[in-house]
Amino acid sequence: MENITTTDEKHWRLKFLDALRLSGIVTRAAEVAGIHRDTAYFERQRDPIFAQEWAAALDRGVDMLEDVAKHRAFEGSDTLLIFLLKAHRPQKYRDTLRTVTLNLNPDDLQNLSDDDLERLDQQLKAAR
């Protein structure tokens, strides 16, 4: 079934998508477009093309936020700089967490020799 979109509907949709791209806030975008936010949600559910345009508008908005964050990071925000480095170079800047699983019950620990305990200690230190 083909979606039929009137000229008025296209007009508010363009306004809505532009405002959504700039603000990322559905209520604000609906106000700019002169519609109720429920209308926008209904149309998104009804029309898959509009749903794709909506997602693209939000994605473009995030791109713009990222541009602002990069600008602020270069101007001296260490926190933003850290977040951006972690996002774009996670292999180098991500927080690392290593877990070691020991399949031992307390009774087994009592039966370990001093050499076994020393080897276990070395393995745990190497895992850090």
**Within the chain, which residues score under 50 in pLDDT?**
1
What predicted TM-score, i.e. pTM, was given to this entire model?
0.59
Alpha-carbon span 69 to 62, nearest angstrom: 10
Predicted local confidence at residue 6, as pLDDT = 67
79, 69 contact by CB (below 8 A): no
Predicted local confidence at residue 19, as pLDDT = 97
Burial class (CB in 10 A: 0-12, 13-18, 19+), 1: exposed
Predicted local confidence at residue 5, as pLDDT = 60
Show me where the domains of the chain are located: 7-93, 98-128
Predicted local confidence at residue 1, as pLDDT = 44
